[in-house]
């Protein structure tokens, strides 16, 4: 049974208050104080009668809270946060400021099980899922240190779709008008291609944006760097994306990490154009960010520009994402790299 009030949606809080014999409006007080006023102690939810607060505490309900362990700022303005979890594990989040937007890249798992060859987090392996409370608290703690975040992307540590229920609860919590009130269109969930969950997302009554980490135009090439392609082949993944789009009408983002001598040629661009033809989408070309233990190298800027032009000429909206935060190992694919360097992995993984 869920005991962390921060992990509960407004409907779950209402179910709790009803079960405990409280009034309906008491649920609103709890949700407001946890997610808007961001109190970390049930005793501080002062609109609730003292006996009610004491009852919740005695029933082992609580409000979780992350601790900012470290905050690093790159010369380009990117900020990386290292959060300590209550069980001693750690996660990282990244705040990117550009063109009037403050986008927070948040984590959904401690480590990751997907094993993508270009990603530092994969080398940490999977340790556990984050709770909905731990996911939303990354945003709360960042905003306590600065101006409001405008966009949230679930692109940090972990595969969001493998923590689907907690991720969707966190989306509902952040979107709720009684809480943070962040628009669903300002929330993006990224996946390496977990097909059943893409299908589930298409049936949800709340529609955050979907991003798919593609990184290759053929299944054979993709399988060399993304083990997920074995279980969920590229052809089936594209069918799932098309089905998702037919249900929702939403534009899909395809993420494509540009790796030297691997997926960067004009021929690759031509194949990618054919692969995504007919899908309402945009492509993010991401400059590869090296990390310890990986021999891959970033494609040259001229190759990325040529690739971008070929896609644009085909009428595909394309954005080039050059390195942001690489000086503090906060760039795409680098989260967890500092933990690897400092050997802060659990003993059995060192």
Distances (CA, A) of 50 to 14, 18, 21: 19, 17, 15
Q: How far apart are CA 214 and CA 228, in angstroms?
A: 11
Report residue 155: phi and psi, to 5°: -130, 15
Report residue 102: phi and psi, to 5°: -120, 100
Euclidean distance between the first and the last CA atom of the chain, given in angstroms as a whole number:
34
Q: How far apart are CA 246 and CA 346, in angstroms?
A: 44
Q: How far apart are CA 92 and CA 344, in angstroms?
A: 13
For residue 240, give the nearest of 192, 199, 211 by alpha carbon: 199
Mean pLDDT per 10-residue segment, the chain (350 residues): 94 97 96 96 97 97 96 89 94 91 96 91 89 98 92 96 98 96 97 98 97 98 97 98 97 97 97 97 92 83 97 96 55 50 41
Which domains, ranges and CATH numbers included, belong to the chain? Answer: 5-58 (1.10.150.530), 67-349 (3.20.20.70)
Q: Which residue out of 192, 197, 281, 332 is catalytically annotated? A: 332
Helix H or strand E encompassing 270 = helix 266-275
pLDDT of residue 332: 54
Q: Which residue out of 92, 255, 264, 287 is catalytically annotated? A: 92
Q: Read off the tokens for 213.
A: 């980490």
pLDDT of residue 262: 96
pLDDT of residue 342: 52
Q: How far apart are CA 64 and CA 86, in angstroms?
A: 8
Q: How far apart are CA 292 and CA 124, in angstroms?
A: 12
Q: At what angle do helices 164-175 and 10-19 cross, to 10 degrees?
A: 90
CA angle 222/224/227 to nearest 5° reads 80
Q: How far apart are CA 134 and CA 247, in angstroms?
A: 30
Report residue 233: phi and psi, to 5°: -60, 155
pLDDT of residue 145: 79
Task: Indicate if 236 belongs to the active site.
Answer: no
Tokens 């709890």: give the residue. 30
- 3-state percent helix, strand, coil for the chain, nearest multiple of 5: 40, 20, 40
Residues whose CB is less than 8 angstroms from the CB of residue 323 and which lie 6 or more positions away in sequence, other chains included: 287, 289, 331
pLDDT of residue 347: 37
pLDDT of residue 330: 44
- pLDDT tens by residue, 236-287: 999 999 999 999 999 999 999 999 999 999 999 999 999 999 999 999 999 9
pLDDT of residue 326: 47
Task: Indicate if 69 belongs to the active site.
Answer: no
Report residue 82: phi and psi, to 5°: -105, 120
pLDDT of residue 323: 61
Q: How far apart are CA 94 and CA 157, in angstroms?
A: 10
pLDDT of residue 267: 98
- SS3 call for 102: strand
What are the b/e assignments for 170-206, b being 16+ CB within 10 Å? bbbbbbbeebbebeeebbbbbbbbbbebbeebbeeee
pLDDT of residue 335: 52
* Contact by Cβ (8 Å): 170, 12: no
């Amino acid at each position: 049974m869920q005991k962390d009030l921060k992990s509960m949606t407004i409907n779950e809080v209402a179910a709790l208050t009803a079960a405990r014999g409280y009034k309906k409006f008491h649920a609103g007080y709890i949700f407001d104080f946890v997610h808007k006023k961001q109190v970390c102690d049930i005793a501080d939810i002062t609109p609730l009668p003292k006996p009610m607060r004491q009852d919740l505490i005695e029933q082992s309900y609580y409000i979780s809270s992350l601790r900012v362990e470290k905050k690093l700022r790159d010369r380009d303005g990117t900020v990386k946060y290292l959060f300590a979890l209550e069980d001693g594990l750690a996660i990282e989040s990244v705040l990117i400021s550009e063109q009037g937007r403050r986008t927070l890249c948040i984590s959904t798992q401690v480590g990751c099980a997907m094993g993508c060859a270009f990603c530092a987090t994969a080398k940490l392996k999977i340790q556990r899922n984050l709770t909905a409370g731990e996911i939303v608290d990354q945003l709360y703690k960042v905003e306590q240190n600065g101006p409001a975040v405008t966009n949230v992307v679930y692109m940090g540590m972990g595969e969001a779709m493998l923590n689907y229920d907690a991720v969707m609860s966190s989306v509902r919590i952040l979107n709720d008008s009684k809480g943070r009130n962040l628009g669903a269109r300002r929330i993006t969930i990224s996946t390496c291609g977990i097909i059943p969950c893409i299908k589930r997302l298409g049936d949800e009554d709340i529609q955050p944006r979907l991003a798919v980490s593609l990184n290759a135009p053929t299944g054979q090439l993709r399988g060399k760097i993304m083990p997920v392609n074995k279980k969920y082949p590229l052809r089936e993944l594209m069918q799932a994306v098309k089905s998702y789009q037919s249900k929702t009408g939403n534009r899909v983002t395809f993420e494509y990490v540009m790796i030297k001598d691997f997926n960067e040629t004009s021929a690759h661009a031509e194949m990618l154009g054919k692969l995504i033809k007919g899908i309402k989408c945009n492509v993010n070309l991401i400059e590869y960010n090296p990390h310890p233990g990986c021999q891959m190298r970033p494609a040259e800027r001229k190759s990325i520009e040529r690739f971008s032009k070929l896609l644009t000429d085909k009428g595909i909206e394309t954005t080039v994402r050059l390195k942001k935060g690489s000086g503090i190992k906060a760039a795409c694919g680098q989260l967890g790299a500092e933990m690897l360097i400092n050997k802060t992995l659990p003993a059995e993984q060192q």
